Structure 1
Amino acid sequence: MAVFTPVTLDDLSQWIKQFPLGKALALKGIASGIENSNFFLTTERGEYVLTIFENLSFEQLPFYVQLMRHLAERGIPVPAPVANDAGELVVALHGKPAAIVSKLDGSSQMDPQPVHCAEVGTILAKMHLAGRDFPLQQPNLRGLDWWVETVPKVLPFLDAETAALLQSELAFQREFAAGPTYAELERGPVHADLFRNNVMFVGERLSGCFDFYFAGWDTWLFDLAVTVNDWCIDLDTGRLDEARVVALTRAYHAVRQFTAADHAAWLPMLRAAALRFWLSRLYDYHRPREAEMLTPHDPTHFERVLRERIARGAPNLTA
């Protein structure tokens, strides 16, 4: 959510007339994140978020915006896309796909306690079940195929020991993904990026989840592992906080019970989730794109997380 494509109020003066939002009154770039250009947008009808998509195409975007609409219609607190007068949810702005969604109430909880983790576990399970009848399918674009493609691009920037770890973990994940346990995992649309800064709270109540633009079709357990690897760790060491892990996974299990395959795959999926974000941060750090307000994330954070998962394992699900 950096700003790659600058936008001004003058740019919006005619463009926004196609939406039932009245005049654009204020526009402010959002600095966090590194994929799309995002802005807080104030109009005569209220507050919204405007996104210009820098990598996703017009053909890919229906999956994301329709998924948000699908979940919102089923009571999941997510941003609701706003259609223009022609019923379109994605329209061109400065020659790129753009969308407007409702702005959620609350603020991010960057120092989560077990009570917050339980809220996240509950909503993630509800989100998975609500997506079972979503009609569109699109692969996780940052899944295994992308890992295989991207590892060679970052290896030249790494020392021999770090490169060996990256290659070894990729080999482990390719072997696991080809096995019978992985094939048994339940799957469907997943958020795939449900970090602390993508969830809003009002007090201890979860008020919304947003930034679905890494969503795709993947295993539900991978989505849970991505979430645990952010919400339930010590940020300095990458170590899991067992109280937070138990709170989140028990709350999830209360809505969507874990299967035998889930239990067997839990540690490999935690490692997969760490690899995915280590690799994407390595790529963004060593091969950055220019953008206003862009600060690439530190790739060594998820390297530490991966090393921790390999060395120490993880608490059992619903322990």
Structure 2
Amino acid sequence: MAVFTEVSEREAGELVHRLQLGELRELRGIQGGIENTNYFLTTEQDGARQEYVLTLFERLTAEQLPFYLYLMKHLARHGIPVPDPHALAGSAGKDEEHGQLLHRVAGKPAAVVDRLRGASVLDPGPAHCAAVGAMLARMHLAARDYPRHQPNLRGLAWWNETVPVVLPHTTPEQAALLRSELAFQNHVAEGSLYAALPRGPVHADLFRDNVMFEDGRLTGFFDFYFAGVDTWLFDIAVCLNDWCVDLSAGAHDQARAAAFLDAYGGVRPLAAAERRLLPAMLRAGALRFWISRLWDFHLPREAALLQPHDPSHFERVLRQRVAHPPLA
């Protein structure tokens, strides 16, 4: 969540007024992340202070953004703890009962959502992983009737487009792994097992820093701006590759993975095709983030606050997943 676009207190305050959220008291840029501009907003209304997050979208378009914002609203209405987007006052109507959730600030499309309580747990244990697994399954089921459709924009088609762009920045050994793994994933995606995988809206980026806990209790999932319709198994794999690996070596952590999968399966049991393709999808999740981190690291954009992630971490995870495929 870097700051690419500077927002003045006047601009932020005007939006807060249009959303009827009170008076702006503080505006603070958020450091971390690489996609959007984010600020914490503190407002005051009737003597009470509230916290929100203002996001300016740097890459996503006004045509793409309603999928994410209305998905968050849909999930919030179904009891999933996610940041609830705020609509322009008086904008609800028969075409959109939730009102206008997409706004404009500093010339960029923008949204304001509730700030979740708690903090991210960066050294999770099995209990944290179980909580995430169970909530992810609830989220998948809650989104089954979400009416909008948009593909995972960082899915297989994007991998095929982006690998040739990052190859010049890799060593011969890395390039060989990227090419071979991409070929493997294209082969998997053409098979009947892959076609049988259950699908629906997925978060697609549910890392440790995108989940909040407070007093040991999971208080929310956030940062849905990589979401899209994909296989639920891909979402599971992305989580396992972050929540259930050793960060220094990229190795699989069986205890945490078992806790995650048991809790997920207690809410939504995995289908036979999902169990068989889990090792391949773990490789897919590692490949996706290795490609994107190579892209962000070697082809960065300017930002006031920007810390691109180290691409080598997901190279290690991918090599571990290829050499030591875990059992579902």
For the aligned pair, the TM-score class normalised by the smaller chain equals over 0.9
Maintained 8 Å contact 1:184/1:261: yes
Decide which of 177, 181, 186 is 1:165's aligned counterpart.
177
CA contact (8 A) 1:9 1:25 kept: no
Q: TM-score, normalised by structure 2?
A: 0.95
Shift of 1:16: 2.6
**Residue from 51, 66, 72 that aligns with 1:62:** 66
1:75 to 2:79 alignment: yes
| Aligned partner of residue 310 in structure 2, secondary structure | coil
CA deviations 1:18-37 (Å, max 9, x no partner) are 11101111011111110000
**Of the candidates 216, 219, 227, which is equivalent to residue 239 of structure 2?**
227
Runs of 4+ more than 6 Å apart: none
Distance 1:185 1:14 in 2: 46
Q: Residues 1-319 of structure 1: matches in 2 within 5 Å?
A: 1-45=1-45, 46-85=50-89, 86=91, 87-314=99-326, 316-317=327-328
- TM-aligned CA deviation for residue 95 of structure 1: 1.2
SS at match of 1:55: coil
Query: Cα offset for 1:14?
Result: 2.6
Q: RMSD over aligned Cα, in angstroms?
A: 0.8
How far apart are the structure 2 equivalents of 1:13 and 1:91? 13
Structure 1, 245-254 or 89-98: larger mean CA deviation = 89-98
SS of structure 2 residue aligned to 1:167: helix
Comparing 39-48 and 103-112, the one that deviates more: 39-48
Deviations 1:34-91 (A, max 9, x none): 0000111001141100000001111111000000000000000000001112331011
| SS at structure 2 position matched to 1:77 | coil
Tell me the percent identity. 59
- Which residue of the partner structure matches residue 94 of structure 2? none
- CA displacement at 1:17 relative to structure 2: 1.8
CA shift digits 1:258-297 (9 cap, x unpaired) = 1110111000000000000000000001100001110110
> What are structure 2's unaligned runs of at least 5 residues?
92-98
- 1:127-185 residue CA offsets vs partner (Å, 9 max, x unmatched): 00000000000000000000000000001111111101000000000000000110000
Structure 1, 294-303 or 14-23: larger mean CA deviation? 14-23
Name the CA distance, whole Å, in 2 between partners of 1:188 and 1:233. Answer: 26
Instruction: Name the amino acid aligned to 2:56.
Output: I
May I ask how many residue pairs the two structures share in their alignment?
316
Residue aligned with 2:28, SS:
strand
Give the stretch that moved more between structures: 125-134 or 82-91.
82-91
Q: Distance between the aligned counterparts of 2:13 and 2:150, measured in 1?
A: 34
* Offset of residue 203 of structure 1: 2.1
Tell me, which stretches of 5 or more residues in structure 1 are unaligned? Answer: none
1:172-221: per-residue Cα shift (whole Å, max 9, x none)?
00000000110000000000000000000012210111000000000000
Secondary structure in 2 matching 1:3? coil
Report the secondary structure of 1:44's partner residue.
Answer: strand
- Which amino acid is 1:19 matched to? L
Letter in 2 for 1:40: F
Q: Tell me the amino acid that sits aligned with residue 98 of structure 1.
A: A
